[in-house]
């Protein structure tokens, strides 16, 4: 097992709250919240034109237990869109997922599947006629000529699954969790994990070598960890990143890889050639992933709002923006045999009507109403963006909406001070701090009225 030797990674506190969290288990777990991997700070690179950018809709939803199975999907809308159809008993706020096909790639169909956790990753078969989708709770779904080899959907997981990679034969795959735990299925061999390491930031993705004899894991701070026959070519762990890394892609020979950040910045290592980035664009929504072309001469970047940006010999084949307006893209994959790509999307339903105020007498707000906010929760300790330690007095905010240092009153929570920020904390969204993962699981995603404190 090899690592990049960058640990512990250092990074600025400008793009997200510091979470030097303890990744103590080799298993992934369903999280109540999506990872905060969004960021909009420009990296200063020029790039070629991409898809249109639309205002981001904040991701919501809770990850519950999902019994994974090999289930196809049914065609809806146009002939290039495949969709999951939620069952009548599916009460998940994540709603049904969708896979949009763009360019010379097939749209696959069949009976529907009910989801209770968001889809977070996609991996393709060698023929390009099938793919697997992975959900945050470890569920795996196989379509086309992709065969179901097992899943972590029946496990009680500690951290969510965040990435997936397939073997060269197409008869196996790996899942990776935010704590660095790796799960191997089919003919995929376990080569190690970073689950026992004291990571500064969570793992956000993985990629496998061309022969399937190894894989790389990448963390949000740009650290890269190599296992099996995967060669370490460098990392962005020592760079002053303006936004977190959200994904990686490898060159055809495995001699290099690219990392992409939420602001569209691209970092090249080994024989991976830099073809441009979206770092200088005024993105309306963060980048969520990247996919390379067949020859490695280019790549596509996909944004949460469905916009697609093409660089090098990657040709723009369409995007999921601006329709549907209330949805977000979570993953992208390119065909291994043709010019085209798939985007994995999910709807983001509007918040429910604001609840009636239930302000307690003690510590009641003293200022005006700020409106209804989506409120999520995080539990990892460390230093906030303002320099103060995390505590139950802390809340992460969008500084353009609530300036740092502001005292606010959250209905049912009480007084909190705006001391932290987060890449995904955009607009009317807050992230409160609680001392345990269980407390955050119980909180989930809620909508609360907020006043000045």
Q: Identify the DSSP state of 383.
A: B
Q: Does 363 fall in a domain?
A: no
In the chain, % of residues over pLDDT 70: 71
pLDDT of residue 39: 24
Peptide bond into 322 cis (omega under 30): yes
Beta strands 394-396 and 414-420, pairing class: parallel
Does this model's pTM top 0.75? My answer is: no
pLDDT of residue 113: 54
Q: Are 434 and 379 in contact (CB under 8 A)?
A: yes
Per-residue confidence at 85, pLDDT binned at 50, 70, 90?
very low
Calpha distance 202→222 (Å, rounded): 10
Do 340 and 396 lie in a common domain?
no
pLDDT of residue 323: 52
| CATH code, domain with 414 | 2.40.40.10
Do 321 and 397 lie in a common domain?
no
Do 373 and 346 lie in a common domain?
no
In the chain, % of residues over pLDDT 90: 36
pLDDT of residue 154: 84
More confident residue, 29 or 401: 401
Calpha distance 235→238 (Å, rounded): 8
Q: Give SS3 for 294.
A: coil
Q: Does 358 fall in a domain?
A: no
Strand partners, 217: 206, 225
Do 327 and 385 lie in a common domain?
no
Do 55 and 149 lie in a common domain?
yes
Mean pLDDT score, 11-35: 29
Q: Does 401 fall in a domain?
A: yes
User: Into how many domains does the chain fold?
Assistant: 2
Do 243 and 374 lie in a common domain?
no
CA neighbours within 13 Å on the CB side: how many for 262? Answer: 29
| CATH code, domain with 15 | 2.130.10
Strand order, beta sheet including 161-166: 161-166, 172-177, 182-186
Q: Does 104 fall in a domain?
A: yes
Question: For 286-290, 297-301, 304-308, which range has the lowest pLDDT when averaged over its residues?
Answer: 304-308
Q: Does 422 fall in a domain?
A: yes
End-of-domain residue from the set 318, 350, 382: 350
Do 192 and 271 lie in a common domain?
yes
Q: Does 361 fall in a domain?
A: no
Q: Are 139 and 97 in contact (CB under 8 A)?
A: no
Domain that holds residue 68: 1-350
Question: For 81-85, 138-142, 178-182, 405-409, which range has the lowest pLDDT when averaged over its residues?
Answer: 81-85
End-of-domain residue from the set 290, 318, 350: 350
210-216: which pairs have CB atoms within 8 A and are 24 or more residues apart? Answer: 210/168, 210/250, 210/252, 210/253, 210/254, 211/168, 211/254, 212/166, 212/167, 212/168, 212/169, 212/172, 212/187, 212/188, 213/189, 215/165, 215/174, 215/182, 215/191, 216/248, 216/250, 216/257
Question: For 158-162, 247-251, 290-294, 308-312, which range has the lowest pLDDT when averaged over its residues?
Answer: 158-162
- Residue 31, token pair as written in the block: 């999280």
More confident residue, 227 or 221: 227
Per-residue confidence at 97, pLDDT binned at 50, 70, 90?
low
Do 397 and 268 lie in a common domain?
no
The Cβ of residue 260 has, within 10 Å, a number of other Cβ atoms equal to 28
Phi and psi for 361 in degrees, rounded to 5?
-65, -45
Mean pLDDT score, 294-316: 93
Q: Does the structure show a pLDDT above 60 at 48?
A: no
Do 400 and 320 lie in a common domain?
no
Q: Does 377 fall in a domain?
A: yes
Per-residue confidence at 28, pLDDT binned at 50, 70, 90?
very low
More confident residue, 232 or 413: 232
End-of-domain residue from the set 298, 323, 350: 350
Do 168 and 269 lie in a common domain?
yes
Do 268 and 305 lie in a common domain?
yes
The Cβ of residue 22 has, within 10 Å, a number of other Cβ atoms equal to 12
* Buried-exposed string 322-353: b where 16+ CB fall within 10 A, e elsewhere: eeeeebbbbbbbbbeeebbbbbbbbbbeeeee
Mean pLDDT score, 51-66: 24
Strand order, beta sheet including 266-270: 245-250, 256-261, 266-270
Do 439 and 327 lie in a common domain?
no
Q: Are 123 and 149 in contact (CB under 8 A)?
A: no
The predicted-structure confidence for 348-358, as pLDDT tens digits, reads as follows 655 545 444 44
Q: Does 67 fall in a domain?
A: yes
């Amino acid at each position: 097992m090899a690592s990049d030797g960058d640990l512990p990674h250092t990074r600025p506190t400008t793009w997200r709250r510091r979470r030097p969290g303890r990744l103590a288990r080799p298993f992934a777990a369903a999280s109540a919240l999506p990872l905060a991997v969004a960021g909009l700070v420009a990296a200063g690179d020029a790039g070629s034109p991409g898809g249109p950018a639309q205002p981001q809709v904040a991701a919501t939803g809770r990850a519950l237990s999902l019994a994974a199975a090999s289930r196809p999907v049914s065609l809806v809308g146009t002939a290039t869109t495949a969709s999951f159809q939620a069952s009548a008993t599916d009460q998940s706020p994540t709603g049904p997922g969708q896979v949009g096909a763009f360019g010379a790639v097939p749209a696959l169909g069949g009976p529907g599947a009910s989801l209770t956790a968001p889809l977070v990753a996609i991996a393709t078969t060698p023929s390009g006629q099938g793919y697997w989708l992975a959900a945050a709770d470890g569920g795996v779904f196989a379509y086309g000529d992709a065969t179901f080899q097992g899943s972590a959907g029946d496990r009680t997981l500690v951290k969510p699954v965040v990435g997936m990679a397939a073997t060269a034969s197409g008869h196996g795959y790996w899942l990776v969790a935010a704590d660095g735990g790796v799960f191997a299925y089919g003919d995929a061999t376990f080569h190690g994990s970073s689950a026992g390491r004291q990571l500064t930031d969570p793992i956000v993705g993985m990629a496998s070598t061309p022969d399937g004899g190894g894989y790389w894991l990448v963390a949000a701070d740009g650290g890269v960890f190599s296992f099996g026959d995967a060669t370490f070519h460098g990392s962005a762990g020592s760079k002053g990143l303006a936004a977190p890394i959200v994904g990686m892609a490898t060159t055809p020979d495995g001699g290099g890889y690219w990392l992409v950040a939420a602001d569209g910045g691209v970092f090249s290592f080994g024989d991976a050639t830099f073809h441009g980035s979206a770092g200088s664009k005024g993105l309306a929504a963060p980048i969520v992933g990247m996919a390379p072309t067949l020859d490695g001469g280019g790549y596509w970047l996909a944004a949460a709002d469905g916009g697609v940006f093409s660089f090098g010999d990657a040709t723009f084949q369409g995007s999921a923006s601006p329709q549907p307006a209330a949805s977000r893209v979570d993953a992208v994959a390119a065909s291994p045999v043709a010019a085209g790509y798939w985007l994995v999307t999910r709807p983001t339903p509007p918040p429910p009507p604001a609840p009636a105020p239930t302000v307690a007498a003690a510590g009641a707000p003293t200022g005006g109403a700020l409106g209804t906010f989506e409120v999520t929760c995080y539990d990892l300790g460390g230093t906030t963006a303002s320099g103060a330690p995390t505590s139950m007095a802390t809340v992460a905010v969008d500084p353009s909406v609530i300036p740092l240092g502001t005292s606010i009153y959250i209905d049912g929570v009480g007084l909190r001070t705006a001391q932290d920020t987060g890449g995904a904390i955009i607009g009317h969204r807050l992230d409160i701090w609680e001392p345990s993962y269980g407390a955050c699981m119980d909180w989930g995603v809620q909508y609360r009225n907020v006043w000045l404190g």
